[in-house]
Structures are given as structure tokens and as C-alpha cells.
Amino acid sequence: MKKAIVFAVTTLASVAAFAQEAVVAGSNAGLIAIGSGIAIGLAVYGGTSAQGNAAASALEGIARNPAAGDKLFTPLILSLALIESLVILAFLVAFIKIPGARFGF
């Protein structure tokens, strides 16, 4: 239940950011904004879930073998950085698809 609430909040909160834009009659800018909001929400949900799984696995490995802590630290940080870069990429792609976005992408 908690995951469903987090998913709904992250998906719907980003849509509110696009509500300020004026929609021209006959354009589909509103649908594009909703799609972008859903894309950002899914990317954030997937990224946080993956980061949680990576951290849990690394901590479990360290708990089972404390001597392996140094060997697990660097791959953990690298994997977390790569996961976060995919979320940022999804964020940028969502803004690229919005015509007239204020960020100028």
C-alpha cells in the first residue's frame, strides 16, 4: 500500500508543474504534459526502487562478510550513480518533448 501511495504522489506531483502553461485550443500540449509527468514519475519510482535494491544487497553482503565492505563500496557507488543518471536522462527527455517548455531544450 505504501508503494502505491508513493507511486501516485510522484506521478501526480510532477503533472502539477505543467498546469501553469496555457493550452492553445486544438493543441495536444496538455496530453504531452501529462505523459511527461507520468514518464518522470515512473523513472523516479524505478530509480528509487533500483537504488534501494542495490543498497540492500550491498548491505546484506557486508553483513555476511564484513571484510568485503571495501570491495563492495566502489561498485555500489558506481551503480548508484549510473541508476541516478538514467533518472536524470528520463527527466531531460520528458522536458524535450514539451513544446514551449521554459527550459529551452
Structural domains of the chain, with CATH: 2-20+27-96 (1.20.20.10)
Which pLDDT score is estimated for 105?
44
Which pLDDT score is estimated for 18?
56
Question: How many other β-carbons are positioned within 10 Å of the β-carbon of residue 90?
Answer: 19
Report DSSP letters for 22-48, one per residue: PPPTT--HHHHHHHHHHHHHHHHHHHH
Which pLDDT score is estimated for 99?
57
60, three cell numbers: 546484506
pLDDT along the chain (105 residues), means of 10: 72 58 60 81 90 92 90 90 88 70 51
Provide the angle, in degrees to the nearest 10, between the axes of the packed helices 69-96 and 29-64. 180
Which pLDDT score is estimated for 77?
92
Task: Report d(CA 54, CA 73) in Å as an integer.
Answer: 11
